[in-house]
Amino acid sequence: MAFESLTDRLQVAMSKLKKKGTVKEEDVKDMMREIRLALLEADVNLQVVRGFVKSVGERAVGVEILESLNPTQQIVKVVDEELTKVLGSEAVGLNKSPKIPTIVMMVGLQGAGKTTFTGKISNFLKQNEKARPLLIAADVYRPAAVDQLKVIGQQLDIPVFEMGTDVDPVEIVRQGLEQAKENKNDYVFIDTAGRLHIDETLMDELKRIKDFAQPNDILLTVDAMTGQDAVTVAQSFDEQLDVTGVVLTKLDGDTRGGAALSIRAITGKPIKFIGTGEKLTDIEVFHPDRMSSRILGMGDMLTLIEKAQKEYDEEKAEELAQKMRENSFDFNDFIEQLDQVMGMGPLEDLIKMIPGMNNVPGLDQLQVDPKDVARKKAIVFSMTPEERENPDLLNPSRRRRIAAGSGNSVVEVNRMIKQFNESRKMMQQMTKGNMPAGLENMMG
Ligand code: GDP
């Protein structure tokens, strides 16, 4: 995942303060020096680094922090707030047209991920708003581009308007827009040509399309992996076309993060969406505050919660919470929970989003082992229905029977029951409003 080394370095810089009882001006200066280096190393634009360090520094050595009761928490808060500002403060969605269709023109260099993103965003709207988009294939230079868009359209069951590669792109757009009006499509995405480098012919063509289509949004796709180059590219496109927003792709790679952190500040244009993988579902709305927390290693609780909610059946969750309150959580619930956790994808990804868990050593080795889950299930299935509902019935002779029945040793059965009892205890504490000691420390 992107930002890993930046996150590590920022955490080191800030954790030095945590060890101190009171924070002196000198300590803050030391920390700022380290933050500055960390950002430069992450390939953040120099101008952006200067601005950021200056605003954090001013607030940090000012009364705000030195006089506060808990200076380290205040510093983390200030760094988080300033970083959120650099990233753009608020999430910005598409500019919607008051009457349909909303026209979105996609621009960007070849290979940035423009065509893939055109598929991602139209699918996103189809899923979330029941939208009926039309995609227009207006990249007539790369013959494969039209086919690529058609394939994506077929995969997503979204119509693609194309006229091959021998027609002027403005004409293609004209006819495509006519079709959208006839079919009452609510969104139109125009996939335009890219080049390996910016050139005048390309820009002229894009300007002609823009003048004709009068798009509500001109989204520039840039590849986060290209670092500072992404910023330069964004600047030139913006000067020529006055883009309305940026899409940052390939944030799943090990980009150092410089582009993400510089583009908004340098171009003044919001990052609206991010691409986080090659699959057509790997798209996220860009939330500056969440991204900041993620970069600072404070986790991304909201994304985590959203992800969990998608997998989680609300009624079942409420039922479960009720059982925890009544302390009637039993082995049947345990199995249900195991199944839900398995459905949420690699646990390692989820855990990384939890505050403080980002740099826990050994996290990489942490995975839910399907075999282990299967073993736990086998043990539970060897219990009688009565035992499943009444975990406290499990005396040694019952445990021996269960071990034999499930093909496990008594030691394994005991271990699994112990785990079950521990999680039951922890859940009870949490529902009573007491964080278990470990978690409380992690939250800072
Ligand atoms: P275009 O030339 O700008 O239209 O770029 P494409 O859409 O053809 O994408 C170029 C390559 O980047 C393809 O191999 C895509 O699968 C890949 N790609 C696009 N977006 C992402 C992303 O968010 N993450 C990753 N890892 N790969 C991506």
pLDDT tens string 428-441 = 666 555 444 444 34
Identify which has the larger pLDDT, 96 or 369.
96
Q: Which fold has domain 4-87?
A: Four Helix Bundle (Hemerythrin (Met), subunit A) (1.20.120)
Q: For tokens 């608020």, what's the residue? A: 90
Cα–Cα distance measured from residue 106 to residue 215, given in angstroms and rounded to the nearest whole number:
10
Q: Is the pTM of this model over 0.80?
A: no
Which residues, in sequence order, are bridge partners of residue 133? 187
Is 275 close to ligand 1, i.e. is its CB under 6 Å away? yes
pLDDT class of 443 with cuts at 50, 70, 90: very low
Q: Please, what is the average pLDDT of the chain?
A: 83
What's the CATH number of domain 305-442, 1.10.260.30, 3.30.9.10, 3.40.190.10, 1.25.40.10? 1.10.260.30
In this structure, what token pair is assigned to residue 194? 């890219």
Determine the distance separating the centroid of ligand 1 and the alpha carbon of 80, expressed in angstroms.
30
3-state DSSP call for residue 327?
coil
Predicted pLDDT of residue 310: 59
Query: What is the widest separation between alpha-carbon atoms in the chain?
Result: 83
Percentage of residues of the chain with pLDDT beyond 70: 79
Q: Answer yes or no: is the C-beta of 290 below 6 A from any ligand 1 atom.
A: no
Q: Is 74 in the pocket of ligand 1 (CB under 6 A)?
A: no
Other Cβ atoms within 10 Å of 419 Cβ, number: 12
How would residue 6 be classed by pLDDT, with cut points 50, 70 and 90? Answer: confident
Å from CA of 320 to ligand 1 middle? 41
**pLDDT tens digit string along 257-274?**
888 889 999 999 999 999
The answer to whether 286 and 245 have CB atoms below 8 angstroms apart is: no
From the centroid of its chain, how far is CA 242? 27
Asked whether residue 442 carries a pLDDT value surpassing 50, the answer given is no
CB 155 within 8 A of CB 115: no
Residue 75: how many CB atoms within 10 A of its CB?
A: 25
* Phi, psi for 393 (deg, rounded to 5): -70, -15
Judge if the beta carbon of residue 120 lies within 6 A of ligand 1.
Answer: no
First vs last Cα of the chain: how many Å apart?
Answer: 24
Distance 379 CA to ligand 1 centre (A): 45
For 225, other C-beta atoms within 10 Å of its C-beta total 19
Q: How far apart are CA 81 and CA 65, in angstroms?
A: 14
Question: Which of 40-44, 85-89, 157-161, 348-352 is most confident?
Answer: 157-161
Burial class from Cβ neighbours inside 10 Å (0-12, 13-18, 19+) for residue 80 reads middle
CA distance 371 to 375: 6
Q: Where are the domains of the chain?
A: 4-87, 102-298, 305-442
Tell me the H-state helices in 296-330: 301-311, 314-326
- Report the atom number in ligand 1 closest to the C-alpha of 108: 3
3-state SS track over the chain: CCCHHHHHHHHHHHHHHHCCCCCCHHHHHHHHHHHHHHHHHCCCCHHHHHHHHHHHHHHHHCHHHHCCCCHHHHHHHHHHHHHHHHHCCCCCCCCCCCCCCEEEEEEECCCCCHHHHHHHHHHHHHHHHCCCEEEEEECCCCHHHHHHHHHHHHHHCCCEECECECCCHHHHHHHHHHHHHHCCCCEEEEEECCCCCCCHHHHHHHHHHHHHHCCCEEEEEEEHHHCHHHHHHHHHHHHHHCCCEEEEECCCCCCCCHHHHHHHHHHCCCEEEEECCCCCCCEEECCHHHHHHHHCCCCCHHHHHHHHHHHCCHHHHHHHHHHHHHCCCCHHHHHHHHHHHHHCCCHHHHHHCCCCCCCCCCHHHCCCCHHHHHHHHHHHHCCCHHHHHCHHHCCHHHHHHHHHHHCCCHHHHHHHHHHHHHHHHHHHHHHCCCCCHHHHHHCC
Cα 12 from Cα 175, distance rounded (Å): 57
Say which amino acid occupies 363: L
Q: Which tens digits make up the pLDDT trace of 359-412? A: 555 555 555 677 888 888 889 989 998 999 888 899 999 999 999 999 999 999
Q: Residue 333 — very low, low, confident or very high, per pLDDT cuts 50/70/90?
A: confident
User: Who contacts 76 (Cβ-Cβ below 8 Å, separation ≥6)?
Assistant: 14, 296, 298, 444
CB atoms under 10 Å from CB of 393, counted, come to 12
Q: Ligand 1 pocket, 284 CB below 6 A?
A: no
Distance CA 265, CA 87 (A): 7
What's the pLDDT score for residue 435? 44
Interface confidence (ipTM) of the complex: 0.99
- Which residues are CB-contacts of 235 (< 8 A; sequence separation ≥ 6)? 266, 267
Task: Tell me how far the alpha carbon of residue 185 lies from the centroid of ligand 1, in angstroms.
Answer: 26
For the stretch 21-63, pLDDT in tens is 667 788 888 888 988 998 998 889 999 999 999 998 888 776 5
CA-wise closest residue to 6 among 303, 361, 359? 359
Write the residue with the smallest CA distance to atom 5 of ligand 1.
113
pLDDT digit string (tens) for 160-216? 999 999 999 999 999 999 999 999 999 999 999 988 888 899 999 999 999 999 999
Pick from 257, 258, 256, 288: which is nearest to 271 by CA? 288
CB of 253 shorter than 6 A to ligand 1: yes
For domain 102-298, which CATH number applies: 3.40.50.2300, 3.40.50.300, 3.40.140.10, 3.40.109.10? 3.40.50.300
Residue 346 confidence (pLDDT) above 70: no
The residue type at 367: Q
The reply to whether 305-442 shares the fold of 4-87 is: no
Q: Rounded distance, CA 174 to CA 380, Å?
A: 64
More confident residue, 311 or 137: 137
> Best mutation site among 114, 115, 116, 248 for ligand 1, i.e. most ligand atoms within 8 A of its Cβ?
116
